[in-house]
A and B are shown apart, each in its own frame.
Chain A
Amino acid sequence: MANIVLKTIDLTKRFGLFTAVDRLNLEVNEGDVFGFLGPNGAGKTTTMRMIVGLVRPTSGRIEVNGLDTRRRFLEAIAQIGSMVDIPAFYRHLSGRKNLALIAQVAGGVPRSRLDEVIEAVGLQKSAAKKVKTYSHGMLQRLAIAQALLTRPPLLILDEPTTGLDPEGKLEFLHLLRRLARDERITIFISSHLLDEVEEICNRAAIIKEGRLLVCGEVRTLLAEELRTYRLVVSDAARARALLEGQPWVRSVAAEDNRVLVTLRQEDAAKIAPAVVGGGIALEELSPQLKSLRALFMELMKEPAHEQ
C-alpha cells in the first residue's frame, strides 16, 4: 500500500460567514501526480494556502508524511516545495540571487543545489538576469526551481500554467512529468483546466464551493457511470426531440445527422429501442471515450451535496 504523503482531515476554512473550504478530506499517495480540480472560487487556492501554512484552518487537520502541520509545523513544511498563486520574486534581483535568498531562508541548501535546480528547469542562460526582465514562462520555471531547492518529497503547485501560451503550457507540463519521474516527487497540482489534469495526473479530486465532489483515479473517474454515446441517424432533429423526452437521458446535442446523448451506462441499452421505436433509422451507435472535461462539466452543474 502506498504511503500517504498528504492528508487533509475535515479541513475547513471560514472567512467570516463565508465558508471557503468545507470539511475537506483528501489523501495524496506517494508518487501521485494529483490533480485538484474546481472552477474559480471553488476553494482550491485556500486549501493550498492552508497546506503550506499561509492560511490557518478554522478546523480540521493537515498531515504531511504523517506530521501534523499544527503540532510539527517546521518538520511538516520542510517536506513541501510550493508555488502558490502567481510566482512572486524580488524583481530587482537576478533569478540566481532570488534562489540564493530563498535557499538561505530555507536553510541547509548547498550552493551547488542552485545550479542543479536552475539546470533542471532550463534557466541556465537567464539565471543572471534580473527577474523584472523575465517572461511569464520564465517566472513559472523559476518558481518551480525555488520549490525544488530543498529536494522536497511533495510539490504543491497552484494553477502553474496560468498565463502560459499553449506551447509554454505543453513544455511546462512536460517539465512536471519529467520531475515526477526523475526526482520521484509527489505532485499536488490545482487547476481549472481539465485537459492538463487529464494529460499528466494519475489521480484527481474535484471540489465545488469548498466541498469535495469526487476523488479517485483519473481512469476510474473517466469510467464512471455517465457516458456519452454517438448516434448516426436518419433524422437528427427528431431523434433529439425524442431522446430529450426520455427521463433516463441526461443531455442531448444534435449536429447534422449525429446526436450525442449522455446517460448512465446502465441505461445505454434503452437508446436503440427508443430511437428505432420512434421510426428513426439508426445507422450507428457507439460509445464516446468520455473526457474528464465532460465529467467536470456535469459535476459543476450539480449542487454540492452534503458529505
Chain B
Amino acid sequence: MSSKAAPQGPRRPLPALGSMRRVARLTWVEVRKLVSHRLFPATVIITLVVTAGLGLAARALTAQMGRGGAGGPSGFGSGVSFSNYSLWVATSTYGLQVATILLVALGAMAMSMEATGRTLNTVLARPIRRVEFALAKVLALVFASLVVLIAAALAAYVVGGTVQERHARPFRGLDSPPEPSWTFPSYGDVVDPRYPDTVIATRGEVMSEILYGFCLLAVPVLAAVSLGFLLGTLIDSSGLAVGLSVGVFVTLEATKFIPLLQEQVGRFTFNYPMTRIAALMLDAGKGMVPRWDDAVAGVGVSALYVAVGFLVSVVVFCRRDITL
C-alpha cells in the first residue's frame, strides 16, 4: 500500500523567526555603531575613572581613620570609614549616578542622531521593519547600560578589595579602625567585631545579595535611558533632544534636595530607587539580610517608566513618516 505524500513547496522560515534573526542582526549593527561613536567609550571611561576616583578617596578617608584621624573631608562626613563591601557599594552607586546622566544623553542620541544625520533614510529603505530597527536600538541601549553598570561595579570592586576590613558595621564605633592595604582581594566573610570568630554572613551570601542589588539597579538606570530615548524619538534635532533629556533628568533628580518635593515627587524619580537599593546593598555588606521589599515600589515605578518609555518610543517611531 502506498501513501500519497502531500506536495511540498520550498520551506519558508517562520516570519517570527526571520524577524528575530533580523533584530539580532540589527542589534549587532547598533552595538557596532555605539562602540564606534565617541560618546559610548567616553561614558565607560568616565564611569571607570569617576568610580575608581571616588573609591580611592573613600579609601584614603578610611586609611586616615585607621591612623587615628578624626575623619575625612566634610563631604564624606567626619568619622566615616568604609569596609570593603560598603566601599564597593557606595562608590559604585555614586559612580553610576554620574554615568546615568551620560546614558540619558546616549539614549537621546540613539534615534535623534539618525534623524539629524538623515541616516534613517539610508537604513530604513532596506528590507527591515521599523519595529525591528527600533527594538534593535532599545537592545543596544540595554547593552550599553549594562556595560556601564558592570564598569562601575568592577571599578568599585577592585578599589574596595584593597581595604582590609572584614568586620560588620551595624554597631558603629564598636569595631576597630579598618586597615587598608594593597592586598587584593580581601573580600571575606562578615564577622561580628566583638566576637571575631562569629561569622554573621558568609562571603557568598553577601556577594549574592549585593549582585542582586546591582541587577535591581539596572532598572532605574534603564528608566532614565528610556526617558532619553523617548525624547530622542520625538525630537529630530539631536542637540535639542540631548539637552532636553538631560535637563529633565537633572531637574527630577534635583527634587531630592527639596524636602517638600522629596516626599511628594521623590519616589517617582530615578534617584529614589537607586538610593533605596544602595542602602539595602550596604545592609547586605554589613552582614544584614536586606529587606528588598522596601525597594519594590521604587523599582516598580522605574520598571513602568522603562516599559512606557520604550513602548511609546517604538510605537511613535513605527507610525511616523520619515520626511527628513
Q: Mark A52-89, 1 if CB is under 8 A from B, else 0.
A: 11111000000000000000011101101010111111
Cβ A54 vs Cβ B126 within 8 A: no
Q: Known contacts being A49-B323, A55-B322, A90-B117, is A102 close to B22, with CB within 8 Å?
A: no
Residues of chain A within 8 A of B129, CB atoms compared: 73-74
> What's the minimum C-beta distance from B237 to chain A, rounded to whole angstroms?
15
Cβ B124 vs Cβ A102 within 8 A: no
Is A297 interfacial (CB 8 A cutoff)? Answer: no
Q: Interface stretch among B30-38, B75-83, B261-269, B306-314?
A: B30-38
Residues of chain B within 8 A of A55, CB atoms compared: 321-323
Cβ B22 vs Cβ A107 within 8 A: yes
* Number of interface residues, chain B, beta carbon within 8 A: 27
Is A91 interfacial (CB 8 A cutoff)? Answer: yes
Query: Which of A73, A90, A97, A146: most chain B Cβ within 10 A?
Result: A90
Cβ A53 vs Cβ B125 within 8 A: yes
Cβ B125 vs Cβ A52 within 8 A: yes
Cβ A102 vs Cβ B118 within 8 A: no
In angstroms, Cα B37 to Cα A90, docked, is 10
Q: Among the listed B37, B117, B125, B324, which residue makes an inter-chain contact with A80, where contact means beta carbons less than 8 Å apart?
A: B125
> What's the minimum C-beta distance from B182 to chain A, rounded to whole angstroms?
40
Cβ B127 vs Cβ A77 within 8 A: yes
Is B215 interfacial (CB 8 A cutoff)? Answer: no
Cβ A90 vs Cβ B33 within 8 A: yes
Cβ B123 vs Cβ A105 within 8 A: yes
Cβ B29 vs Cβ A77 within 8 A: no
Closest to A80 in B: B125
- Given contacts A89-B117, A107-B22, 16 further A-B pairs with CB under 8 A are A46-B323, A52-B125, A53-B125, A55-B322, A74-B129, A85-B121, A86-B118, A89-B122, A90-B33, A92-B37, A101-B32, A102-B122, A104-B28, A105-B25, A106-B127, A146-B122
| Chain A residues with a Cβ under 8 A of chain B | 15, 46, 49, 52-56, 73-75, 77-78, 80, 82, 84-93, 97, 101-102, 104-107, 143, 146
- In the assembled complex, 28 residue pairs joining A and B whose CB atoms fall closer than 8 Å, in A order, are A49-B323, A52-B124, A54-B120, A54-B321, A55-B322, A73-B129, A74-B127, A75-B127, A77-B126, A82-B125, A85-B121, A86-B118, A87-B122, A88-B121, A89-B119, A89-B122, A90-B33, A90-B36, A92-B36, A92-B38, A93-B36, A97-B36, A104-B29, A105-B25, A105-B126, A105-B128, A107-B22, A107-B25
